[in-house]
Amino acid sequence: MSVSLIKGQKISLNKESGKTLNKVFMGLGWDAVKKGGFLGRLVGGGDIDLDASCVLFSADKQPLDVVYFGQLKSKDGSIIHSGDNLTGDGEGDDEVINVTLANVPAEVNYLVFTVSSYRGQTFNEVANAYCRLVDDSGKEVARYTISGGGDYTAMIMAKLYRHNGEWKMQAVGESMRGKTVADMIAPITAIL
């Protein structure tokens, strides 16, 4: 059974999955808001280019690496991005970041997952947005749903972090302005 997370909530990945997790993936899904009427279809409801990213941080909160549409694999190979979805069309996860937790280097203490609107469209134009963590058997462990839209273009979705030798997850849900993950490094560091 999946846990529906609320902003700030923390979970133990091993306890929620019932086993020691070695591999997980963070899936991001979204749709464009559907505008009503003939005029609405002409001027709104177009493609939304959201980008999922993962920033790797050390225990002293220094960024070590980033995985995003421009670098689909971490330097150590433990994290792999599925590729850029420019529209949000289709069912299910639109972008996926695969993480082999057992291969994440010991100097990495935090994995921070973000989403940003590359074209600068706000989340007022986004519907059905979520991120979810899925274990290596395909079981959804946790889900964080973005609700209510808003006049922001980026969000720190969630972080995985090491605590007493175990990986834990926290839903963050901090919104901000920014078109790329590079715009978000300072705000991410502040929440670690």
CATH number at residue 22: 2.60.60.30
- Asked if pLDDT for residue 173 goes beyond 90, the answer is no
Cα–Cα distance measured from residue 143 to residue 126, given in angstroms and rounded to the nearest whole number: 17
Range of the domain at 114: 3-191
Q: What single string gives the DSSP state of each residue in 94-151? A: SEEEEEEGGGS-TTEEEEEEEEEETT---GGGEEEEEEEEEETTS-EEEEEE--S--S
Number of structural domains in the chain: 1
Cα→Cα distances 58→29, 30, 113, 169, Å: 28, 30, 15, 16
CA end-to-end span of the chain, whole Å? 28
> Which tens digit of pLDDT belongs to each residue from 25-45?
999 888 888 765 444 444 444
Q: H or E segment at 176?
A: strand 166-176
- Asked if pLDDT for residue 88 goes beyond 70, the answer is no
Lowest mean pLDDT among 26-35, 53-62, 72-81: 26-35
**pLDDT level of residue 139 (50, 70, 90 thresholds):** confident
